Amino acid sequence: MTLERWQRAAEWPLIIISILFLTAYSVQVLAAGPATTVAGWFIYITWGLFVIDYVVSLWLAPQRLSWFFRHLLELAIVLLPMLRPLRLLRLVTLISVLQRVAGNALRGRVVTYVIAASGLLVYIGALAMYDAEKSAPQASINSFGDAAWWAIVTITTVGYGDLSPVSATGRFIAVGLMIGGIALLGTITATLASWLVEKVSTNDTRAQTASVEDIKVLRDEIRQLRRELATTDNSDARHFCHH
DSSP assignment of 80-119: -TT-HHHHGGGGHHHHHHHHHHHHHHHTT-HHHHHHHHHH
What is the reported pLDDT for 35? 87
Q: Which residues contact 35 (CB under 8 A, 6 or more apart)?
A: 27
Q: Which residues contact 146 (CB under 8 A, 6 or more apart)?
A: 130, 140, 163
Question: What whole-number distance in Å separates Cα of residue 172 and Cα of residue 115?
Answer: 25
Question: What whole-number distance in Å separates Cα of residue 89 and Cα of residue 85?
Answer: 7
What is the reported pLDDT for 205? 66
Amino acid, single-letter form, for residue 50: F
Rama region for 161: left / alpha / beta (φ>0; ψ in -120 to 50; rest)? left
What is the reported pLDDT for 72? 79
What is the reported pLDDT for 196? 76
Mapped onto helix, strand or coil, the DSSP state of residue 166 is coil
Question: What whole-number distance in Å separates Cα of residue 54 and Cα of residue 74?
Answer: 8
CATH code that applies to domain 107-211: 1.10.287.70
Per-residue pLDDT of the chain (243 residues; tens, 9 = 90+): 788 888 888 877 877 887 888 888 889 888 888 888 888 888 888 878 878 888 998 899 988 888 888 887 777 767 765 555 555 555 555 555 555 555 555 555 666 667 777 888 888 889 888 988 888 888 899 899 999 999 998 888 787 888 889 988 888 888 888 887 787 777 777 777 777 777 777 766 666 665 667 677 777 778 887 777 777 655 655 555 555
